[in-house]
Every structure is written in C-alpha cells, then in structure tokens.
Structure 1
Amino acid sequence: MEYYPTSVEHILAELERIDLLIRVQVWRMQHIQSSDNELQGLLISEQEIEELLRQPIGLPRWANIPTPLSSIEVQTALEGMTADIAQRQTGSIQKGIKLRLHELVCHFQLTPLDRDTLLICLAPELDLGYERLYAYLQDDVRKKRPSVDLVLNLLCADFKSKLSARQRFLPTAPLLKHQLLHLFDDSSQQQPPLLSKYLKVDERVVNYLLGNDELDTRLLPYAKYTWPQVKLEDLLLPLEIKERLGLLALEKQIIKTRLIFYFQGTYGVAKHTTAEAFCQELGIGLLTVELERLLSAKLREFETIIALAYREAVLQSAAIYFEGFDALLASDKAAWRLALLHQVQEMQLLTFLAGNTIWEPSNAQSDLTFLRVEFPLLTAAQRVELWTRFIGEQGIAPLQDLANKFRFSGGQIRDAAATARNLACWQDPTQGQITINNLIAACRLQSNRQLSEMARKITPRYKWSDIILPDEQKNTIQELCNYVKYRSLVYDEWGFEKKLSLGKGLNILFAGPPGTGKTMAAEVVAGELELDLYKIDLSAVVSKYIGETEKHLSRIFQEAETSNAILFFDEADALFGKRTEVSDAHDRYANLEVSYLLQRMEEYDGVVILATNFRKNMDEAFVRRLHFTLDFPLPDEKHRRHIWQNLWPDAIPRSAELDLDFMARRFEIPGGNIRNIVLAAAFLAADDGGVVQMCHLVRATRREYQKMGKVLMEGEFGEYMGHL
C-alpha cells in the first residue's frame, strides 16, 4: 500500500485537490473578464451591473459559466484524488507516520468543509502565488487573502449548501472556537458582512502543520511543555495513592475521557512530579500553566490564554496542568475561575488542577470525573531518603537531625540541596564539599521569607553559657529543645502521629518580670536547634477593625507552616489575655480573637514561644494547651554575681578595683537592668580615660534606677558614695 513518507507531502497532496477547485473557478472567471479592461476590479461597468441583477442570489457571476471539463468530469477527478489521498493516508497511519493535518481534523472534530477551508487559507503561507489567484477570483487586486465568500464559492455547489456552510464560521464552530482560523475585516469597510470578512490561519497552527512543535509565543510567559521522565514507582508517596494512580493509568482510554484531578498539598509535596509520572505511564507529554502569573491579566485576555493553552495541549498530545489553582478561589477572581472551569469542562482532555487548599467543584457535569488527591507531608524517614538522594551520603546522623529540624517537602529538600551545593562551591571553589553547616544555612535560606513582612527576624547570638538561670529552668529549656530534636522519632516512628489529631506542635510560655532573660532564652533555644527566630510585631497584627486581627494571625501561622521557624510572641498577654464577660459587641469580637488564637495554636505544628510579664493575665485555656511553662524568677545574689561577671566582653579595659560582689549584693535587679548598667558604664568610661572604673558603675546604676522610677539614697552606695 502506498503512503506519504512525511506529513508535508500529505498536505501538498491535499492542496493539489484544492488547486483543481481553484482552476475550475479561474476558467470561469476568465470567460467573463474583458482582456482589454485595464480598470478591471476598480470600476463597475453598466454591463456588470446588469449581470449582477440577473444572476441568482448568493452565487458568483461565474457560477454557471461552462468549463473545459464538464461538472461530471470535475467531480470524477475530485473523487479519484480524494480516494487516492485516503488510501495513502491509511498506509501512513499503519506505518506509524504522524500526519498532522489528519490529526488536526480528528482532535478538533473538523468536517471536510472545515478541512478544505483550512487548506485554502494555508495555501498562501506556502506559496504567495495563491494571493494573486485569490485577488483575481475576488476581482480586486487588494484582496489577497481568501474571504468567507470566496471559500464558500469554491467549496459549495449551490446556494442552499452555501447557506448551510455559513454555520462553520460562527464563533462557536471549531475553526474559530479553537482559534485555528482568524476572521479579520477590510480596513476600508466599516462593519462588513460575514461574507466580506477575510480568513487567516493562526500562526501556531501553520507552524504545527509544517512540523514545528515550539510553544505558541503568547504562552511562553505562562506555560512550559515537558516530556516526563519520572516513574510512579520512584515517587515517595503513600502506597495507596501510587496503586490507585497505577490502576487508572492502565486504562489507556483515560486519555480520551473527561478526567479532572485536583492535587492538594503545599509546595514541594510532589504534585507536579506525580502528574508527570502519571503522564509517563500514559506515554504523553505535560503542559504546565502558571496561573499566578495570569492573575494580573484582564478577564478577556485570561480566557484567550486558557483557550490557547488547551489548544496547545491538544496539538502536543499532552495533558494540561494548572499550577496555583487556589489563587483563583478568591472572591474577586470568581469570573476568572469560572472561565477556567468552563474550558476544563468543555475540553475532553486529561487535566490536573493543583493548589494548597481543599476544593470541590460545584455544578460539575455528570459525565466529568473529578478526583481529589491529598498529598501528605513526608515522614522523617522519607526526608532522610530524599536528602541522601539529592546530596549523597553525608553521614546518617546529620541527615536525620536535619530531617527532624526542618520538616521540608520534597521540593524544598531539592531546592535546599541545590543551595547547599552553591554555598559549598563559594566557600571552597576547588573541592566544593558539602558540610552540615552548608545544609543548615541552605535550609534557613529556603524557609519562607514572607514571614519577615509581619515579624522581625532575630539572629540568635546567646549560647548556654550566656544565660544565668536556676538549674531547674535550664533543664526545662534543654527538655523543650529535645522535644524538637526527637519529634519525628516519637510521632512518626513510635506512632503518636496516629493518636493525636491536633496539638502536635510545641507551645511554650516564658513568664517572669522584665529583664529576667525570657528573650535571651528564646534565642538560646533557636541557636541550639539552629532554627530561625521571628519576633511577631504586635503593631502589625492587632487591628481596631473587626476581623482584621484574625486575618493577620491567619497569615502569620500560614506562612510559618512553611518557614520552619520559631514564632516568638513578646508581651503575649496583649493577644492571649483572658476572655471577658460579653457586655457589648467589642467584647464579643475580642473574645473571638482569643478563641481563634486557641484554634490556630492547636492546629500549628511548629514551635511557638509566648513571653509575658504577667502570667496571671493569660487566659487559662491557653495555659492548658501549653507543653511547657517556664517561670523566670528574679536572680538571687549568686546568680546576679554571675550576670555581672559574664556581661563584660574580653576586650574591654576594666579596673582591677571593680567590686562586682558589692554590686551583686547591694542591688537586687534582674539581668536586663544589669546589662543596661554595664553598657552605660562602658560609654562613660570611653569618655573618661578609656578604663571602666567603679565610679562609672555607680553613676550608671543611679541613672538606671531613675529610669526605673526608683530613688536610691546616697547611703546605699556605701563606701562608693563619693563616686556619685
């Protein structure tokens, strides 16, 4: 059986058939043209007017002019060419040769008239000689593109069939609906009738038919095409999900069904990779569209891009994946969401929608299959496996510690591993060996940076040796650090994850007078765990407008979920204070804020530290939900002496006569005030000899007490009273 070796040869054979139709009409046109009329096409003669009045409605002047071949001979020739093309087309398909015109017809359900219209409009893209032929047949040298009227005259034998064929040029018909063709007006005519409009093949369709598979240029800012390489069996997913996807993939007809997946999960949980793996099982490509980049587009432009994306997926024989679908769930994006879902329901194409939040479609068509797949976070063992996969063997213990501290998704681990390699290359350009410090720094860099918009990042500078507390408090701080270190062991490996639905995070209360070390302890914890510490800015959270505070808190906790950071609420009683009896609307909404905080703290899986100077002001419901409550007492003389000694930097010049024992014994103040006195004394010394003397400490102490609103009698300075 003969066949077409290439897709272009098939198109050229089809154009030969179109050429015969054009030749017949050219013969007829030649019969009525005056060879000596130089103004032909520019002037309407009286004879031509008479002929126009006599001819039947809807038919060209040359419709009934005889040709060298009879109508039967022309029809016979056309049928012979059509049969030969069909036979060769079958032969090519049997040999696995892709005939793009045939696939275009099948994919978009084009009729023979649609196909021939496309060919008539494609001809000038291959040979500019067709422009002159079309101008000749339309009796106007300016009309180089085929009009709807010319196409109908070439393809329709009578007025009745021509009238029926007009329906193929409506916006809802395949040629225009899928933007295979474009209608455009003559610039010299205002609001022309449909028959006067011109037709042009879309540039991407021309490129496709000629063998080019590059994306439509209008899609380049928003979409990318990939041929999947990953397999389902390689994914770190629950076995149940992989098995169900595998069974679906075995049904090869799934490609032709209206199957819609909604992949729900945070960034990096393998939503896109799973879609790739599913497409790999089916042997098709994947076209990914970034919806968030389209949010700024006007609705009409958005609809156009989505339609082009679906057309591209059809041309590429690919499934389509919409990343960031939940960005369209906002109330002000309802029209955009409906426009997308309209395309989703209308196109018979395997579609993936991906987002972070739960979503179910409403008013979905009955013949549409919607499957929501929720992607869980990785277990600690899976995180270790991924770290090993991305960076190689770095020692099991460091990787386990890394997996415990940073509850990353697969995508975040991949990104952090790449960042670690870059950091290692910068530190050691010759070897570039990744260290555990590179990995920790990379994890911090990959943590969500948007939290800094609502909180201030604190770089931990204090270590265990810097904090002076009773042994009981120090031991408690070590316990809560261990809580984070061994969280994966207890919850994942020992099974407590299944026993608890909420309250799997770590909520801590630091309570005590100002200056007793609460903030310092938070820094020590962050430094020990090598996690970022964010101090929540209450001024950016609390709002006088009803509902705004909850909205700000929701955003903080949402961002913190992916930041792997410690949230530090200083002066926490301003937010976590006791609920009051409801006497007016303000009380009701104030209590709602507290109740909302209770709910969010139970749902949050990270570390939250609350610090307050007044524990009695805290709502009891909060205290009940805390894992650790740590009271910071005022330091006794022994601890004050340690504080006085530890606050001095090694480089500062100090007199040997400094009596720190006297300072610790005489002034019962917390560490924060001692720090202020030491710093003030250093500045006084800098302006007075450059060595810290006892006189500087005495003067600084007096000023600190004045700032505190307390009065010191001169006698309290004892033998150092002369330094005042």
Structure 2
Amino acid sequence: MAEVKRTLPVLSENATGSPEAAPWAALERLDLLLAEAARSAEVVYGVRFDDDRFRGLHLDAGEVGRLLDRMPGLPPLAEGRTRSVPLLDEKDLRFVALGQRFELAALDLDILLVALAPEIDPRYERLYAYLQDDVTRKRPGVDLILNLLSATAEEKLAGHRHFLPASPLLRHQLLQLHEDPPGSHATLLSRYCKVDERIVDYLLGGDGSALHPDDCLTIFPADSRISETPLSEAQRETLPRLLAEGRAVLHLRGVSGSGRRTVAAYLARRLGCGLVCFDPNRALARGEDDFQAICRRVVREARLREALLFVAEVDTLLDDDKDARLREFSQALEDWDGPTVLAGELPWRPLSLYRTRPFARVELEIPDFTERARLWGREVTGLSAEELEAVAARFNFTPGQIRAAAHSAGQMARSRQGGPSRIQAAELFDACRRHSNQKLGALARKIDPRHGWDDIVLPEDALEQLREICRQAVHRPLVLGQWGFERKLSYGKGLNVLFSGPPGTGKTLAAEVIACDLGLDLYQIDLSRVVSKYIGETEKNLDKIFTEARTSNAILLFDEADALFGKRSEVKDAHDRYANIETGYLLQKMEEYEGIAILATNLRGNLDEAFIRRMSFCVEFLFPREGERRLIWEKIWPEQAPRRTDLPLERMAERFEISGGNIKNIALAAAFLAAHDGGEISVRHLLRATRREYQKMGKILDDGDFRERMDD
C-alpha cells in the first residue's frame, strides 16, 4: 500500500470556528489508525485501494468465504492490535471541556472525533467509504467506528452501549444516528453517525452565533451592567448562594414586565456565567412531536455554556392538556445539574423538579407608588415631580411597562412637528394607556370618556359622592403608602362602588365623568358575555378581566350587575350553589383589585346587605326632579346645533317626568328630524321626537295630549 502523505488538513466550507481549535494532533493519530485499518482491509477484503473500481457494489464467492471464515464479533480492521489507544489527550481543550460538561468517557470523545473528521477534511469521506466497502457510505457507521476503536470482540461488544438512546452521546444530542436509506429499519451497526452541527461548531471553536438562530432560545452573555433588580438586599445575598449549590431551582412569580428576566440576568452575573433563555410557547408552536427534543437541546446549550437556565412563561406547561409536555420538560431537566430559574404568574410548586433539588420561590410584586415614581424619574426627563407622581398614581405599571411606555412617549415626542422634543405629560399619559389593557377588549367594551363635571346633572349629595371617589383615587398613594394604612389592610385597598337607580338616570355617564377626571380608561363589562354555563369558565373570564386591568387601574363598570348579583338564593340544586360561587368570586376579585370597580344596577333591592356592606361607596341615582330635568334640557344641546330660541325647554322639564336618558334620546331624534327638513330644531321636531320616545316606553302621546301638557 502506498505511504500516507502527511498534509495539514484544511477546514471544509461547512466548518465554523477557528483553525487553532481544530484537534490537529488527534487527527494525525486518527490518520495513523486509518492507515493501519486500510492495511487490514487489504487482507480482510482481499484487494488494494485501486484494484477494484466496483468494490462495495458486488459480492463474489471469494468474499463470501472470507466473511464466513472471520470470527463473529471480531473487529475486522484490528489485525495485530492488542489494545485500543485513545485518540485525544488533555491538549484538545474543547474535547476535554465537552467531556467534563456532559460526563463523557474517553471512548465517547474518540467516537465524536471519528464522526467529526469529515466536517474538517472531506478526504475522510473517501477513506470511510473504502473501509466500509461501500462508495456511497461517506459517513462513518457505528460498525466502522467500533472496528476502528476496538481491539477485541469484547471491546466492540461493550462499545454498543455508547450508541444506545440512553447513552450520553445520544441523550444529550451530541451525536445523531441515521438510517441509509431512511426508513430501512437498519440495525444499530448499519446506521451512520453525524455530529450535531452545534457540537461541530463548539468543537471547532465556535460560539453558536454563526448557526441558524433558534427562536425558542435566546443567549445573553454575562452582563456586568445589571445592578438594579426588584430583589431585596437579603435576597441578593441568599439567592446566588442557593443557585451556586448546583441543581437548584428558583421560581420567580410575577406578571410580565415585573423584572423576572432582569433578576435572572442579575443572578447569572453574580454566578459569573451567561444566561440561556427558553420560551416554551414558541417550542409548543412548532408541534408537540418536537417538544422533548427542543427541551433537550436547550439543556444541552446550557451545559455547553455552563450558563444559568431561564425558562420564561412556565405557566404554559401547567394547562390541563399539557401534562405530557410538562413530563417531557421535567425529564429533560433531570440531565441538568446547573442552576434553573422558572418564571410565571401561577403559584406553582413543581413537585417533580425539586424533590431532589433545592427549591425557592420569590414573589415579584408590582412596585409601590414611591418606587414607581422613582422609576419614572429615571426613565423620563423634563417633567416635574408632580407630573411623574400623577402618572405613578394612575398606572400600577411594572418596571418593564414603565420602560416601554417611556420609550413610546419618547417616540411620540420625536415625531411631533415643531415645538420641543421633550416628552409632554399628555403624551406620557397616552403612552401609558396604549401599554395597558391590551387584552381587555375581548371581554369588555372600552368607553372613550368625553364628559366632564359640567355635563352631568345630579342632586348635590350624589355629585359630592362622585367627587369623593375621585379624591380617594388621587390620594390613595399618600394615605395607603406614606401614611401606612396599606399595612393595616389585607384586602379592600381599591374602590368598590355601587351605582343604583332606574335606567337613564346617569349611572354610565357618572362612570365616564370619573374616568375623564382621573385620566383613566373605562371598560364596560357585559356580564352576559362573562357568565358561562360551563363550570369554572365564569371565574376564568373574571380573572382575565381583573388581571389585565390591574396594571393600569382601569375603571371597570359592571353594567346591569343584578344579572349576577341577585339576593343569595336558597341552595336547592347544584346550579344555585354554583351561581353563589360565581357571585362570591367576583366580590373577591373586586376586593383584591386596587383600582375602581363599579357595579351598576337598576334595582338595589336585588342586592343583599352582605354585598352592600363590602362597597366603598353606594351612590343612588334618583329619578330627576323638575329643576334637574330643566338643567338636563339646557345642557343637552351642542353649541353648533341650530335650534329655535323659543323651544319650551322649561315647560318640557315641568310637564314631562322622564329620565335624563329619555331627554337625550328626544334631543337627538329631534336633531335628525330637523336635519331632514333642512332647518332649525323647532317645537314641531320636539313634539314628534317626544311622541316616538313615549312609544318606546309603551305609552301613547298624541298631539292633543302634547298640547294639553304644554298649555296647562
């Protein structure tokens, strides 16, 4: 056989990393091993390299005889070899590091080297094809690798376990086994080996950045700039020590934007490592068949980088239909000995994960008023302390929401034509509203508040109560926070308000006035859409509403609340029992809610006293008296509306005992009638509009009745 010429291998086009990282010395030892195997192949196969152009494509009687003469299980390419010699040594730093991080045996590393060689130099493909007696098999098969690395039949047989599914090479997805052709149900020895591309990149000195990005996985290097977190001083000391123990699991419970990833990045910095972030939502979107493989790939990446593993939105795996996915995720974590941080909103205790691991949970609360004001001051410049405190008081934002809203407000300021580019208070309020309640519209209707105090007519006591509601909302940070009343209250920190009165007496308008005065969003909840006949669904819908509303202190208006808040019925069957449960759950969520929740009902008598006692305010909307009706008639007309000066508004207020809602309907209908006639709003239009409104009320009002009332 011709002498093997020694040349320095050249990295193939598919390889990444640096030439210095390639295991040149180990490849030279592999070349010597291949040369020895080639000499053995001349004896085993009975031909030289260039003797038979069609070798591997046919089988003659002589070759059959040679196959039968060979002792079963004996490595055919190990003629004269008495023991196997490792190809790698301590100088191959990447291989050594890989072996330590995945607890690999020396044979595992040699297997990887043999399979890696074609990624570095394509000449190995031709050598492997020859030694496998098949010009189409350019990747090393399991049989070839064991023949090269085993000296005896016993060694080869023992080497089988390094290719089984539970072996470190396959369990950690370092090595892939493929059938050729696919679906041929090939035996283990007949399958060929390929090093996973991420491991190829790592062994050749890469960091994974040149590979196709994985949207399930985000890598953050250690960031020395992260110093501020929502953790307490004690937590900053104890949590890094806990995670440094290894296999520790930390559960960060908090809403999105509460600083969960910031905490994870801070802990990674304290541990002196990077951060590997995994998003189960994106993994599940790819199809459930790939989920376990993705989880193992994530754990592999964390091992490769010796990083902290951060799992975002772990609540995704807690759905009833995700039990199998949760088990697969837990199984993948069993192979992970490093620190893990789980993030979610549910109070989860991952029993399957922490039986053998140190476990801790940290609650990341929404910052209090003082902290929110400080964060706004850090993110926004140019506004006074009073303006920033007003924003902090109105919006219960997380640190993440504060950053996002400040960024949006800055974009608004920069895009503004003319004037200063600094953020205006109105722009900041608008940005805050844009960053809140983004999902609330699915179960509630947003009302754009357009009416102020000048637009509402109520008895003085009712108006004063509405003003007191606004004052309490404004001064809550002072009274609850700085004056310490929050520590005295375990619940009921918000404002629960009951509006009761006949239809059309101004309940919805009053809620609108409050929202306009406070600069808050107003959402009207249709209880017929929230209440579900399916057990548990009503509670889920209510929870979604209050969860989404809490970050912005949006005002929630439960209109026609008596649909759910009837007197507690005597429990006669399961339906009655469940109805009471729904009612109690809504009251519980209202007491937990720190904003304004308004219940509007036409019949206060339908609410039992236990409910009423739990309200902060009970405002009764009485049917308007004559003087109030006169004010409503005067205020209902827009300045631009053309109307006759002789409209008998005072007489209308005196003679027609109707609600403000009826008056609004009559004025609007009269305006449309006048528009059709092409003139001003006149008595004739009022007559027709009033008669139509009475028809809707089930009453008849003819021309004679109208004149009689107006002429008395």
Report TM bin, short chain.
over 0.9
1:539 aligns with 2:528: yes
| Cα distance between partner residues in 2 of 1:457 and 1:176 | 54
Q: Please state whether the residue corresponding to 1:687 is helix, strand or coil.
A: helix
1:279 aligns with 2:268: yes
Q: Please state whether the residue corresponding to 2:180 is helix, strand or coil.
A: coil
Contact 2:655 2:709 in 1 (8 A): no
Q: Please state whether the residue corresponding to 1:438 is helix, strand or coil.
A: helix
Shift of 1:364: 4.3
2:694 partner letter: Y
1:30 aligns with 2:37: no
| Cα distance between partner residues in 2 of 1:515 and 1:232 | 56
Q: Which of 210, 235, 242 is the aligned partner of 1:241?
A: 235
| Cα distance between partner residues in 2 of 1:303 and 1:312 | 14
| Cα distance between partner residues in 1 of 2:287 and 2:183 | 29
Q: Which of 169, 176, 180 is the aligned partner of 2:163?
A: 169
Q: Please state whether the residue corresponding to 1:144 is helix, strand or coil.
A: coil
Q: Which of 374, 377, 385 is the aligned partner of 2:374?
A: 385
Contact 2:142 2:188 in 1 (8 A): yes
1:159 partner letter: A
| Cα distance between partner residues in 1 of 2:655 and 2:419 | 59
1:612 aligns with 2:586: no
Shift of 1:700: 2.1
| Cα distance between partner residues in 1 of 2:309 and 2:109 | 26
Partner of 1:40: 55
1:144 partner letter: K
Residue 136 and residue 480 in structure 1: after superposition, are their counterparts in 2 closer, same or farther (change >3 A)? same
Partner of 2:403: 414
1:18 aligns with 2:12: no
Counting only pairs closer than 5 Å after superposition, residues 264-275 of structure 1 correspond to structure 2 as 264-275=253-264
| Cα distance between partner residues in 1 of 2:267 and 2:492 | 35
Contact 1:653 1:692 in 2 (8 A): yes
Partner of 2:569: 580
Residue 61 and residue 411 in structure 1: after superposition, are their counterparts in 2 closer, same or farther (change >3 A)? closer
Q: Please state whether the residue corresponding to 2:564 is helix, strand or coil.
A: helix
| Cα distance between partner residues in 2 of 1:545 and 1:234 | 45
1:681 partner letter: A
1:293-352 CA-to-partner distances (Å, cap 9, x unmatched) read 223343330001111111112222321111110111111001111111122233112111
The farther-off stretch of 357-366 and 402-411 is 357-366
1:476 partner letter: Q
1:437 aligns with 2:426: yes
Partner of 2:71: 56
1:144-194 CA-to-partner distances (Å, cap 9, x unmatched) read 111111111111111011111111111111111111111111218832221
| Cα distance between partner residues in 1 of 2:58 and 2:684 | 112
Residue 346 and residue 527 in structure 1: after superposition, are their counterparts in 2 closer, same or farther (change >3 A)? same
Contact 1:681 1:697 in 2 (8 A): yes
- TM normalised by structure 1 equals 0.91
Partner of 1:94: none
Q: Could you say what the CA RMSD is over the residues aligned between the two structures, in angstroms?
A: 2.5
| Cα distance between partner residues in 1 of 2:21 and 2:226 | 39
1:449 aligns with 2:438: yes
- TM normalised by structure 2 equals 0.92
Residue 53 and residue 367 in structure 1: after superposition, are their counterparts in 2 closer, same or farther (change >3 A)? same
Counting only pairs closer than 5 Å after superposition, residues 621-660 of structure 1 correspond to structure 2 as 621-660=610-649
Contact 2:651 2:710 in 1 (8 A): no
1:481-535 CA-to-partner distances (Å, cap 9, x unmatched) read 1111111212222212221111112110111122111111000001111111111
- Paired residues, number: 693
| Cα distance between partner residues in 1 of 2:691 and 2:131 | 105
| Cα distance between partner residues in 1 of 2:57 and 2:355 | 58
| Cα distance between partner residues in 2 of 1:525 and 1:124 | 73
| Cα distance between partner residues in 1 of 2:610 and 2:156 | 79
Q: Which of 449, 456, 462 is the aligned partner of 1:460?
A: 449
Q: Which of 548, 553, 560 is the aligned partner of 2:537?
A: 548
Shift of 1:694: 2.0
1:138 partner letter: Q
Contact 1:231 1:280 in 2 (8 A): no
Counting only pairs closer than 5 Å after superposition, residues 623-702 of structure 1 correspond to structure 2 as 623-702=612-691
Contact 2:630 2:649 in 1 (8 A): yes
Partner of 1:96: none
Counting only pairs closer than 5 Å after superposition, residues 70-469 of structure 1 correspond to structure 2 as 85-86=89-90, 88=91, 99-187=93-181, 190-214=184-208, 220-229=214-223, 233-248=227-242, 253-254=244-245, 257-364=246-353, 366-428=355-417, 431-469=420-458
The farther-off stretch of 702-711 and 106-115 is 702-711
Residue 133 and residue 687 in structure 1: after superposition, are their counterparts in 2 closer, same or farther (change >3 A)? closer
| Cα distance between partner residues in 2 of 1:186 and 1:231 | 51
1:422-463 CA-to-partner distances (Å, cap 9, x unmatched) read 222232377432111111101110002211011110001111
1:254-296 CA-to-partner distances (Å, cap 9, x unmatched) read 4xx1111111111111111000011011221111111122233
Residue 539 and residue 296 in structure 1: after superposition, are their counterparts in 2 closer, same or farther (change >3 A)? same
Residue 710 and residue 234 in structure 1: after superposition, are their counterparts in 2 closer, same or farther (change >3 A)? same
| Cα distance between partner residues in 1 of 2:561 and 2:653 | 30
Contact 2:376 2:402 in 1 (8 A): yes
Residue 271 and residue 36 in structure 1: after superposition, are their counterparts in 2 closer, same or farther (change >3 A)? closer
Percent identity of paired positions between Structure 1 and Structure 2: 46
Q: Please state whether the residue corresponding to 1:182 is helix, strand or coil.
A: strand
Contact 1:386 1:410 in 2 (8 A): yes
1:55 partner letter: R
Partner of 2:550: 561
2:112 partner letter: L
Partner of 2:14: none
| Cα distance between partner residues in 1 of 2:666 and 2:369 | 47
| Cα distance between partner residues in 2 of 1:285 and 1:534 | 43
1:610-658 CA-to-partner distances (Å, cap 9, x unmatched) read 1111111113222111000111122222222211111111111221222
Q: Please state whether the residue corresponding to 1:354 is helix, strand or coil.
A: strand
Contact 1:299 1:335 in 2 (8 A): no
The farther-off stretch of 651-660 and 472-481 is 651-660
Contact 2:77 2:147 in 1 (8 A): no
| Cα distance between partner residues in 1 of 2:241 and 2:532 | 52
| Cα distance between partner residues in 2 of 1:126 and 1:576 | 74
Shift of 1:689: 4.6
1:15 partner letter: L
Contact 2:311 2:342 in 1 (8 A): yes
2:613 partner letter: R
| Cα distance between partner residues in 1 of 2:354 and 2:641 | 78
1:709 aligns with 2:703: no
Q: Please state whether the residue corresponding to 1:372 is helix, strand or coil.
A: strand
Residue 105 and residue 62 in structure 1: after superposition, are their counterparts in 2 closer, same or farther (change >3 A)? closer
Residue 189 and residue 28 in structure 1: after superposition, are their counterparts in 2 closer, same or farther (change >3 A)? farther
1:223 partner letter: L
Shift of 1:117: 0.8
Q: Please state whether the residue corresponding to 1:353 is helix, strand or coil.
A: strand
| Cα distance between partner residues in 2 of 1:343 and 1:188 | 27
Q: Which runs of 5+ in 1 are unaligned?
A: 90-98
| Higher-helix-fraction structure | 1
Shift of 1:720: 8.1
